[in-house]
């Protein structure tokens, strides 16, 4: 937004925000746009409302002058001002987007004629330009919920407890005050007086220390830390007293309203535009206070890395339990080769988490190319490169040892054949998804990565409590990053929980927009008791109707063999229609053999000629495995599949669905011997089905004459 047109529009916005009595207009705007009903979380059209960063801009301009409360606008003047503000912010958004659209070639034919390498260069030139990052940084999803900041803040500074206590900083109490202040303002904002909307809006966001203390006393009578003195201290720590913010002109400039969001009105009362900023500040600002303490700075920097790693591993243990490790040193002899900040192991797969505490600087927020690239390198590229070093060793462990800080050696499975890299930042890193697309430097055969914050990881481990579910999400996000795009990790997670990230047909791509993030909003806010239960149409996680498939997965998860992870990933990657088709025939065939109607039964299916599936039922283990081997080998070759799964059921053991498993993921290659096998078995009696991943298609079966009809 650092261009003449954007600056001109922002100057007009500033003039409106600095008019006497604007605080009443701002309060009315916030009441209308930032509040919603308990049952509306999934349905709010945020595109029609002010963005929280736009509110920050208005509040930042407001505090540049001493606030005059005596000059209240008329309702008509307030409406006109709101209308003008909306118009100007729409123009500002258009001015930012216009430069991006101009960068596209007007000749689509020229674009289509480019090679893949040339397209990638063009993509990076357009979308990797600093100004192209301004829009997603300013208008992007907040990336977190206020209560997450407050729940995680004590762990983020766990090793700094002594310094915090010595400096009179009680993070637990600050979090309590923040929760309570939000509750107080929500209650006050619910007041509706006929013909007094402007006054109600202002009163709903205004309070004084005594009023807040009384509210706290009624709810926490026996808490010795709650006192009028501590309430006043808290408000002073996080408040801005106008006039202030003199150097704030455009987004990206230091805006005091973000770290100090409570506005002191000078008469003993306070005005809080957005409680979210207060929660975010409680999470982030202790680090700034520590950096200003010259004697503690070095220790704080050491603790910062350890704190983030410990919190990352603590969150991962929710899902991976004892298979999540903190600060794993990778050694060769007595030499430390590299280290994994956090490591999660599951079967023959591993996920390496590399953590950084780098923030996005003010120059980056303004769109400065060099600064954005440097910030990205420090926050994400370095983490990725370190993750690659760990990945190479985990894939070839010979001669290496994996040692924890206390000297304990861990033994990752030597069967590990894939390692995923996740970069973790301490705070929300704006437009991280966009920047990974444009700035990540990797070699052709190196894997992609995802860059998430601790807040994202908190959500992921909350919803993906099963390690296989977590692995599958990370796998799909990384493997399919070129065909799935999104604005935030919350949107990706919402889409995945609603309908799973699956491989798309060639030349297709999908954008997970904020409507999927709103499904998470509605679900999570209900879980923490802030909103009503989402309507049926807004359910985040549809209830599974295929209990047989759930049982099948649970049986496989109980098998203690590393390679079974591949089998579970394979099955999870199937579409719902394909799963329903397969399980219906599996149940039917098991019943027929178990009852004695059939001696053996089987079917095989190819799935888009990439993968395939065979299921065999018999009452004899030897016969079962023999049929499985022949059919899976033949069909994998016949359909030129790179992966083929064969499952077998011994119907005499009716308590289990699966008693034999064979999975072949070797790439297809020509074989004279298998060519002969395919020809010999071409007229075999096995059931062949080829269901589409996205369309229901019934298996082809032998037709039987209808016995009820007489032949002519």
Q: Parallel, antiparallel, or unpaired: how do β-strands 239-240 and 262-264 relate? A: parallel
The fraction of the chain above a pLDDT of 90, given in percent, is: 72
- Asked if 423 contacts 356 with a C-beta cutoff of 8 angstroms, the reply is yes
* Mean pLDDT, rounded, for 175-192: 93
Mean pLDDT along residues 175-182: 96
Give, in order, the Cα–Cα distances in Å from 240 to each of 64, 202, 205, 264, 463: 10, 18, 15, 6, 38
Element (H, E) at 394: helix 382-395
Q: Nearest to residue 190, comparing CAs of 35, 324, 315, 72?
A: 35
Q: Which residues contact 269 (CB under 8 A, 6 or more apart)?
A: 206, 207, 208
CA distance 676 to 580: 34
Q: What distance in Å separates the CA atoms of residue 132 and residue 141, rounded to the nearest whole number?
A: 16
Does the pLDDT value for residue 44 go beyond 90? no
CA–CA–CA angle 492, 496, 498 (5° rounding): 120
pLDDT of residue 432: 87
Asked if residue 110 has pLDDT above 60, the reply is no
Residue with tokens 């040692």: 403
Question: Rounded distance, CA 150 to CA 232, Å?
Answer: 20
- Is residue 173 left, alpha or beta, with left meaning phi > 0 and alpha meaning psi from -120 to 50? alpha
Which residues in 11-45 are b (16+ Cβ under 10 Å) and which e?
A: ebbbebbeeebbbbbbbbbbbebbeeeeeebbebe
Q: What is the DSSP letter of 129?
A: S
pLDDT band at 682 (very low <50, low <70, confident <90, very high): low
pLDDT at res. 363: 62
Question: Distance (Å, rounded) from C-alpha 702 to C-alpha 154?
Answer: 66
pLDDT value of position 126: 47
Convert the pLDDT of each residue in 219-259 to its tens digit: 887 788 899 999 999 999 999 999 999 999 999 899 999 99
pLDDT digits (tens, 9 = 90+) for 557-609: 999 999 999 999 999 999 999 999 999 999 999 999 999 999 999 999 998 76
d(CA 193, CA 450): 49
Cβ atoms within 10 A of the Cβ of 83, count?
10
Return the residue matching tokens 């016969």: 623
- Token output for 105: 């070639």
Average pLDDT over residues 635-658: 92
User: Does the pLDDT at position 683 exceed 80?
Assistant: no
Report CA-CA distances (Å) from 11 to 68, 162, 537.
21, 46, 43
Rounded mean pLDDT, 432-446:
91
Judge whether 18 and 26 are in contact, CB under 8 Å.
no
Say which residues have a Cβ less than 8 Å from residue 497's Cβ, sequence separation at least 6: 463, 519, 520, 540, 541
Core vs surface per residue 539-567: b (16+ CB within 10 A) or e: bbeeeeeeebbeebbebbbeeeebebbbb
Query: Can you list the positions of beta strands (E) in 122-265?
Result: 206-208, 239-240, 262-264
Tens-place pLDDT, residues 480-532: 999 999 889 999 999 999 999 999 988 888 999 889 999 999 999 999 888 88
Residue 241: name the closest of 394, 395, 64 by CA.
Answer: 64
% helix, strand, coil for the chain, step of 5: 50, 15, 35
Round to whole Å and give the CA distance between 449 and 442. Answer: 10
Q: List pLDDT tens digits, range 78-91.
A: 999 999 999 999 99
CB 67 within 8 Å of CB 264: no
Give the torsion through C-alpha atoms of 346, 350, 355, 360, to 10 deg: -110
Report which of residues 120 and 643 the model is more confident about: 643
Going through 133-238 in order, the beta strands assigned E by DSSP cover 206-208
**Edge-to-edge strands of the sheet including 611-618?**
660-664, 643-650, 611-618, 601-607, 687-689
Beta strands 660-664 and 611-618: pairing type? unpaired
User: How much is the pLDDT for 361?
Assistant: 73
The set of residues, in sequence order, having a beta carbon less than 8 Å from that of 508 and lying 6+ positions away, is 483
CB of 449 closer than 8 Å to CB of 408: no
Show the tokens assigned to 409.
């050696």
Judge whether residue 367 has pLDDT over 80.
Answer: no
Higher per-residue pLDDT: 104 or 605: 605
79 Cβ partners below 8 Å, 6+ apart?
A: none
pLDDT at position 693 is 34
Q: What is the mean pLDDT of the chain?
A: 89
Contact between 335 and 347 under an 8 Å Cβ cutoff? The reply is no
Q: Residue 399, exposed/middle/buried by CB under 10 A (0-12, 13-18, 19+)?
A: exposed
Please give the Cα distance from 209 to 267 (Å, whole number): 11
Classify strands 269-271 and 349-356 as parallel, antiparallel or unpaired. Answer: unpaired
Please name the helix (run of DSSP H) or strand (run of DSSP E) that holds residue 624, with its range, or none.
helix 621-638
Provide CB contacts within 8 A for 40, sequence distance 6+.
none
- Separation CA 466–CA 206 (nearest Å): 44
CA separation, residue 672 to residues 465, 642, 679 (Å): 47, 18, 11
- Quickly state the pLDDT bin for 431 (edges 50, 70, 90): confident
Per-residue pLDDT at 119 exceeds 80: no
What confidence tens digit (pLDDT) does each residue in 267-289 have? 999 999 999 999 999 999 999 99
Segments in 448-532 forming alpha helices (H): 454-463, 467-479, 489-499, 514-527
Binned at pLDDT 50, 70 and 90, residue 696 comes out as very low
* pLDDT greater at residue 179 or residue 49: 179
**Is there a contact between 495 and 512 (Cβ–Cβ < 8 Å)?**
yes
Half-sphere exposure of 591 (CA within 13 A, CB side): 6
For residue 214, the number of C-alpha atoms closer than 13 Å in the C-beta half-sphere is: 5
For residue 259 the two structure tokens come to 């770290």
User: Would you give the DSSP letter of residue 249?
Assistant: -
Per-residue model confidence as pLDDT tens digits over 151-164: 999 999 999 999 99
- What's the confidence (pLDDT) of residue 102? 55
Element (H, E) at 371: helix 369-376
| Nearest to 55, CA basis, from 366, 365, 281, 276 | 276
Give the closest residue to 159 by CA, choosing from 276, 297, 300, 320.
300
Q: Residues 438-461: what's their mean pLDDT?
A: 95
Average pLDDT of the segment spanning 167-188: 96
Q: Comparing C-alpha atoms, which of 393, 389, 396 is closest to residue 415?
A: 396
Q: For the residues 105-112, what does the mean pLDDT come to?
A: 49
Out of 94-103, 252-261, 411-420, 696-705, which region has the weakest mean confidence (pLDDT)? 696-705
Cβ neighbours of residue 586 under 8 Å, at least 6 residues apart? Answer: 548, 552, 615, 649, 657
Q: Give yes or no for a cis peptide into 243 (omega within 30° of 0).
A: yes
β-sheet with 269-271: strand ranges across: 206-208, 269-271, 262-264, 239-240
**Consecutive H or E run containing 280:** helix 275-291
Give the C-alpha separation, 308 to 329, whole Å: 16
Asked if pLDDT for residue 692 goes beyond 80, the answer is: no
């Amino acid at each position: 937004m650092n261009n003449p047109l954007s600056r001109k529009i922002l100057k007009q916005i500033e003039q409106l925000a600095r008019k006497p009595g604007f605080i009443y207009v701002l309060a009315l705007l916030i009441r209308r746009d930032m509040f919603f009903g308990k049952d509306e979380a999934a349905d709010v059209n945020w595109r029609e409302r002010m963005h929280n960063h736009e509110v920050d801009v208005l509040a930042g301009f407001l505090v540049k002058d001493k606030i005059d409360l005596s000059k209240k606008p008329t309702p008509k003047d307030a409406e006109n001002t709101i209308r003008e503000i909306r118009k100007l912010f729409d123009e500002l958004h258009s001015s930012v987007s216009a430069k991006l659209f101009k960068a596209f070639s007007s000749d689509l034919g020229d674009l289509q004629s480019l090679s893949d390498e040339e397209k990638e260069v063009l993509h990076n030139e357009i979308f990797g330009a600093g100004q192209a990052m301004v829009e997603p940084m300013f208008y992007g999803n907040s990336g977190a919920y206020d209560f997450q900041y407050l729940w995680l803040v004590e762990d983020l500074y766990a090793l700094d407890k002594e310094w915090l206590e010595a400096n009179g900083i009680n993070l637990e109490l600050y979090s309590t005050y923040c929760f309570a202040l939000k509750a107080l303002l929500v209650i006050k904002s619910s007041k509706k007086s006929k013909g007094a909307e402007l006054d109600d809006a202002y009163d709903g966001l205004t309070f004084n220390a005594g009023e807040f203390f009384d509210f706290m006393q009624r709810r926490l009578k026996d808490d010795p830390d709650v006192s009028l003195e501590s309430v006043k201290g808290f408000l002073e720590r996080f408040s801005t007293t106008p006039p202030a913010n003199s150097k704030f002109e455009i987004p990206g400039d230091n805006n005091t309203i973000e770290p100090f969001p409570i506005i002191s009105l000078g008469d003993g009362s306070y005005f809080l535009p957005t409680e979210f900023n207060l929660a975010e500040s409680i999470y982030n600002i202790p680090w700034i206070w520590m950096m200003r303490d010259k004697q503690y700075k070095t220790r704080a920097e050491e603790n910062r890395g350890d704190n983030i790693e410990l919190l990352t591993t603590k969150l991962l243990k929710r899902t991976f339990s004892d298979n999540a490790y903190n600060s794993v040193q990778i050694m060769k002899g007595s030499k430390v080769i590299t280290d994994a900040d956090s490591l999660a192991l599951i079967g023959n797969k591993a996920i390496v988490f590399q953590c950084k505490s780098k923030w996005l600087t003010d120059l980056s927020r303004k769109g400065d190319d060099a600064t954005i690239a440097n910030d990205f390198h420090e926050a994400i590229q370095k983490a990725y490169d370190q993750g690659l070093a760990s990945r190479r060793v985990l894939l070839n462990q010979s001669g290496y040892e994996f040692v924890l800080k206390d000297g304990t050696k861990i033994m990752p499975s030597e069967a590990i054949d894939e390692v995923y890299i996740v970069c973790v930042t301490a705070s929300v890193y704006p437009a991280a998804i966009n920047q990974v697309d444009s700035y990540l430097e990797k070699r052709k055969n190196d894997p992609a990565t995802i860059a998430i914050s601790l807040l994202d990881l908190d959500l992921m481990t909350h919803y993906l409590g099963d390690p296989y579910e977590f692995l599958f999400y990370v796998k799909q996000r990384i493997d399919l990053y070129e065909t799935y795009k999104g604005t935030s990790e919350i949107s990706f997670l919402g889409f995945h929980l609603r309908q799973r990230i699956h491989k798309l047909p060639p030349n297709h791509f999908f954008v997970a927009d904020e409507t999927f993030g709103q499904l998470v909003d509605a679900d999570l806010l209900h879980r923490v008791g802030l909103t009503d239960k989402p309507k049926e149409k807004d359910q985040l996680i549809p209830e599974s109707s295929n209990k047989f498939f759930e049982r099948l997965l649970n049986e496989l998860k109980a098998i203690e063999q590393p390679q079974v992870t591949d089998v579970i990933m394979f099955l999870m990657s199937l579409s719902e229609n394909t799963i329903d088709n397969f399980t219906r025939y599996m149940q039917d065939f098991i019943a027929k053999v178990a009852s004695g109607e059939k001696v053996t039964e089987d079917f095989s299916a190819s799935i888009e000629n990439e993968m395939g599936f065979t299921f065999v039922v018999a009452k004899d283990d030897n016969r079962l495995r023999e049929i499985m081997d022949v059919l899976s080998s033949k069909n994998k070759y016949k359909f030129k599949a790179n992966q083929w799964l064969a499952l077998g059921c011994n119907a005499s053991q009716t308590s289990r669905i699966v008693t034999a498993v064979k999975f072949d993921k070797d790439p297809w290659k020509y074989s004279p011997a298998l060519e002969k096998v395919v020809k010999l078995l071409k007229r075999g009696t096995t059931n062949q089905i080829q269901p589409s991943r996205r369309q229901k298609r019934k298996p082809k079966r032998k037709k039987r004459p209808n016995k009820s009809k007489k032949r002519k």
